[in-house]
Structure 1
Amino acid sequence: MTEDAFDLVLKVFGLDKHFKTGPCKVKEGPQDCPVTINPQKYLPASIRTMLQCEMTDNCFGLDCCIDLTFQLPLGDEDVTFHIPFWFKFKPCDFEVDARFGGFTYHKYILDYNWVHFFQKKYFDILDCETAMPADIIFVLDESGNVNQDVFTVSLEAISEATGKLAIGENLIHVGMSMFGGTGTSRTSFDLDTSFERKTVLQSIRETSFNKKENTDIGDALRYVCENMFVSSKGDRGDVKNYVVLMTDGQSNRGSTQTGVNTCRNNGVTIIAVGIGDGISRTELLSVVQDPNHFINTTYENLHSSLEEIIIQSIKCSADVSSFISGWLKQAGMEVLDGVKEGGKQLILKRLGLEDFFSEPKCDKERKPFTPNVGGWNNECPLGILDKPELPDKMACHFKDTCTGIECCIEIPFLDVTLHPFFIIDPCEYTLNYGVNTINETIQLINYEWGKTEKINLAGGVLQLQ
């Protein structure tokens, strides 16, 4: 095949827009950029020399090219093609320009729907019904057919499910134990080992495997309800207690009902997770008081099914109003139209949000949030956002510099406000964002675009994204 014939093949398949004849020719970039990006160092050595990249003239992008040299089919002629690609940001013109081969993307930033940053769910509050305090202990089988591989799968599933829980000193505490035959149960970590989600997840992942031959589910339950749900190891007498029992087998030692009775007499709710077809459904159904607290799954589906039954069975998270209402009722307090100042401070302290709401409130009825249309005070002269109408309790201001948005959101029940904002500084190459007392600044020149930024409140129970 000749080079001309190959060019014709590229045109027939529409690939000529992406493959350009000849080697790369990338214009040399400036040498005085504040930060230099070298994409080659992230590539395998075998293809590193095929890529050429230079910073764009304004130091806000990359102009790149990939060289491809190969032998034509049915011939011995070598040909060279290249694929150009780039990403260019023009802060003064509020433009983003990107290209890969024949694919191009051009966006005027002022037309971008930035408001999704503040829309709908300001707080992502996990997945469950109500965020009430609870003590939860995972009881994991390491006997019979369990080996290191499936034990690791179980740890990963527990870690993932625990990551969905509202871990915190005044919220959910987690512990973990393992079991085999009679008298072999052992503690991985107790309920009061840590109230930080990161530390708890690390403790789960670092749990060691100790193979046991026999299985005694009753003794495992007795151990956790007698030795771990105790005040000296972090058990709280005024919160709900849960055991999450995980096994892929059935008891061949001891009395299951003895352990079940111990837990029930101590007010502990048991959730049973049977894995595979080696379990006894009869035994595990006798362990739980509510049939909905039992599932039979597989190691392949354990990640999703464990998370699902925990969300279904444990009251671990909710919207703020449900949380507060439930907590007030549990404390024997009535939910009134207004709460006295002392009560508000008590609620905020219980939620771990006292410092977060310590600054003066914003006022959506005053400047810079008024005058507004549909909740928006747009003072940017260069463009108009595609703005949805905002809720009654919210107003936003698009600054006259066209580089920032700030909003004011009222939370009437507690008589507090949220004041989220973000501001782009094209001169310093920074993005400043935050809400209330939280203020973060990131460098745009080496930022990981597409990354979701999260602000954690109350020990990670509430997340602003």
Structure 2
Amino acid sequence: MNIDPLDGPVRCYINGHCSSIDCCVYDEKILTSLNLFINIDSCNDVIDGGIEKYKFSKSLLEFDWKSEHEIYLGGIYQLNFQLEELPGSNNYIISMEISICWDSEAACDYRITVLENNILAKENCDWKRPLLKPDFSMTKWKTENGFQANTSLDGQSLTDLLEELGVSNFAIDDLPNDKMYIVSMNVSVCFEANSTCEDDIVNVLNNVLLPKQQCRYSEDFVVEDFSLTKWMSNRNITRTDELQEYMLYQILEELDALSFLSEYSCDRSREPWGPTNDGWIKECSTFVMLPYLNSRETTCIIMDTCTGIKCCVEAPSLGRSFDFSFELDACNFQLTIRIEKFVYNESLVNYVYGTHHQFYLKGIFLIEYTVDELSSSEYILSVSLGVCLESSEPNCIVKQVVADKVSLPKPSCDWNQGFRIQNFSLEDWTRIRGEDLTNLTELAVLQVSSDLGISKFFKKPSCVRNGIFYQPENFGWKRDCPVSTELPELHPGMTCVLLPSCTEVDCCIDADMFHHSFNLVLKLDPCDEKLIIGIENFVFEISLYEFDWGVSKKLYLNSVIRME
């Protein structure tokens, strides 16, 4: 917290939680020191204040934010304060003034501004209670439930732990690739400390699938026709002035973007951002041709993956720099955008390459990008970054092109991947969740597919073995190849097509347990010298110019579906 030094006969103390300001003022007329204080209890939603023993207490639920509040003692001693809540960042803006006035018709004997538009962090509230099981052991619990001691818990496993400890009245599991949440919720009213109050628990939701709403990342502000110029003019702030920190907080709170702001601004003069001569820090070991950046505004890092860029963009008029990143994960088929604390993931499965995108966060932070896939080993990337606070053109106070058709080398991917969950066993997974291994519910299929990281690659709809593409078949094969070829008899739950090129095989395998059929493809193209292999939408293209002929290869979809 940045505070100015105090002059005169006053000393103040701010406690470690940044929630209490306690001042001692010496009155020379009566040779006595007086205590003036404000205490904000954000956990119990109460504010206390007072002068000596004259005190007041008020609920923050009914508090008049932004208005000036006054406390008088005998008309002589005065404590004025103003408090503004910033729920988006868990902070307050506070101003506080102390006065001593012995003559109502003359200037005050003493007046000092203790705080002026300072940012005050809310206290972190401790909602914990003692364990319901005093002898609980995390190590023992993990062993009994089939988890390795060093395994991180997430998703359903974390929900199970919280329920075991009795600290979960609601549970939410995320199915990002299915764009769904799994929600459970219990409600109870309990007046006995030594009781679980099980008889009073009402089950509201039990593993209910709730669809996620479609998010819009457009250029529209939450406040219609917002203008930084107009905002500053209304407050008599010169447009050329640098905004103070609290002003930026107010603007971002008004535009519903303050919750995304990182606690600390990136600093282009310090590591990892600087120093640099051309605006770039190069962590990629491969040479990449990068454009010169305006060092007065933006510094970027080409990441060690060589397919990611992160930048620190300075907006001098806002008195702040902002952190952006754009990452392409070629092996996990994912695009990730980060703006300060905000994270957005988009699947590259079925991605339409070469399309221009404008991504706005609350209309303020802009990432414009185009991703082209030039070959199986190269992306072509164009990216522009902006900070925009005007509804009319030019709407961005900062805009910088950081990549213009830059060639980025794709990494080599490990196709022989193990299970996403170490030592995974479907039998153990179903036992822990009380599921029937031989008859999984739709919810269980969604959960296990998400936990194993394979659901995002599922084709919708799945292939159909009895459909016209795979029929008629003989011993599992449909032969469209005009050349006579000896083919093995296939498993009853599998049908394959040998296509007319005679160098392409397309298979459909039923997995009744998953209520899904999986499509596997192998295509050799001797004309373009390339091999295409895939499991569902987990597809790779390989050049045959440097191919290891005669060597056995493996393609595993997170070890669940395997192709050799």
Say yes or no: TM over 0.5: no
Which one has the bigger helix percentage?
1
* Bigger CA radius of gyration: 2
